[in-house]
Homo-oligomer: A and B are copies of this chain.
Amino acid sequence: MSREDALARDAADPLAGFRDRYVVEDGDRIYVDGNSLGRLPTAGRAAIEATTEEWGRDLVGGWSRWIDAPLRAGDEIARLIGARPGEVIVCDSVTVNLYKLAWAALDVRQGAIVVHPDDFPTDRYVLAGLAAARDRSVTEPGTVGTAALVCRSLVDFRSGELLDGPRVTAEAHQAGALMLWDLCHAAGAVPVELEAWGADLAVGCTYKYLNAGPGAPAFLYVRQELQELLRSPIQGWFSHADQFAMGPDYEPAPGIVRFLAGTPGIIGVDAVQAGAAEVAAAGIQPLRAKSIALTELAIALHDERLAPLGFQLGTPRDPARRGSHVSFRHPDAWRICQALIEQAHVIPDFRPADVIRFGLPAVYTRFVDVYDAIDRLAVLVEREAHHAYDLRRARVT
């Protein structure tokens, strides 16, 4: 596996042109952290500018278009996750959306909340808080017979493991639970078929593989058949059946709109729509094919260059069980990560305790990026450049 091989694969890549639709001001930098924060699409920048200008020009009149923006952006995402129109809406953060949907699920199901101890922190923290407030227990997968809610990440944020969507959903239903998928590392990265799987609920973020910007509004999904049965605990005016009547009593809107809360951030919502549309334009199946090829390359280079240096692969070798990032485990991962960023200008991220993640969004990542990043990583560790770094903890990675 040579650098020329990688360049040849880029030359033959049918998606290669999509990279030009993103702002790339890298110089010597190699960015492999798009699974933490995706790149700025030129269409996203244009959407942000256009909505800002619209605000300045149309003022409050802009709301005649903006009022439906969360639904429009939701429908754009729906196409990427196998949902029907009107099942997805863009608003709030993953954290707040998870709180709303999990609370609603506990209204209609008795029993425990099932979440994996390796799942993403905000999911575990939110669910632990809800469990305390609602007098439920939190248990690990496989430990209870009946449950109210199963919450799992389709793609694990550390290992990149891709769960079996239909199987996990069916198991949740067998336990009597609603199935809530966290799609943060999955939406725009791997094929998702919520309707076909029979999934009940989902949340996901838009600033990773959907490239909507730092802290852009998240999305939530509620299966059509469940929408009228569930209620948000946060009874905000944007979720009201007749918002501008401003009447005395709360009545939830029909459909997915009832899961809004307060006024959605329109500039962010429009950036979500633009970011998701770019991913849809590339097509989730071509992206998946390239993503598998990129991660296969990363694993082959790991075996050749990194394994002899004490690295272990943290990601499943079966591509069917893998998302779009690869994790390399090393006892010195934190120091190596710091050295890699500062000395080799390769930007991955570190996740405790010993993981370096290489996120490889197929829409703008080149094969030569994978080659060069791992080459620089290997050279750096061979030279023991990371020994100059201390073990202080990262503030933000």
Contacts and interface: CB of A to CB of B under 8 A. Distances in A.
Contact of A59 (B31, B49, B397): B31
In the complex, which of the residues A40, A62, A96, A395 has the most CB atoms of chain B within 10 Å of its own CB atom?
Answer: A96
A121 B237 contact: yes
A236 B45 CA distance: 28
A23 to B, nearest CB: 4
A128 B261 contact: no
Contact of A63 (B205, B243, B244, B396): B396
Interface magnitude class on chain A: 35 or more
Given A55-B214, A236-B95, A393-B244, A265 B263 contact: no
A216 interface: yes
B60 A37 contact: yes
A290 interface: no
Contacts of A243: 121
A267 B125 contact: no
Contacts of A312: none
Contacts of A236: 93, 95-96, 122, 125-126
Contact of A62 (B55, B133, B214, B267): B214
Count copies of this chain in the complex: 2
Given A126-B235, A133-B233, A213 B244 contact: no
A63 B395 CA distance: 9
Nearest to A62: B214
B57 A25 contact: yes
A61 interface: yes
Interface string A86-107: 0000001111100100000000
A293 interface: no
A388 B39 CA distance: 52
Given A55-B37, A67-B396, A99-B234, A262 B129 contact: no
Interface string A224-242: 0000000001111110100
Interface string A365-397: 000000000000000000000000000011111
Nearest to A237: B122
Interface in A238-291: 238, 240, 243-250, 261-269, 271
A21 interface: no
Interface string A280-310: 0000000000000000000000000000000
A169 interface: no
Contacts of A122: 236-238, 262
Nearest to A264: B215
Contacts of A128: 235, 249-250
Contacts of A64: 395-396
B235 A125 contact: yes
A395 B56 contact: no
B33 A234 contact: no
23 contacts: A40-B56, A45-B52, A49-B49, A67-B396, A92-B93, A92-B262, A93-B263, A93-B264, A94-B262, A95-B236, A96-B262, A99-B233, A121-B246, A122-B238, A126-B234, A128-B235, A129-B234, A207-B263, A213-B267, A215-B263, A215-B269, A246-B352, A247-B352
List 4 tightest A-B contacts by C-beta distance, closest first: A93-B262, A95-B262, A95-B236, A40-B56
Interface of A: 23, 25, 31, 33, 36-37, 39-40, 45, 48-49, 51-52, 55-57, 59-64, 66-67, 92-96, 99, 117, 120-122, 124-126, 128-129, 133, 205, 207, 213-218, 233-238, 240, 243-250, 261-269, 271, 347, 349, 351-352, 393-397
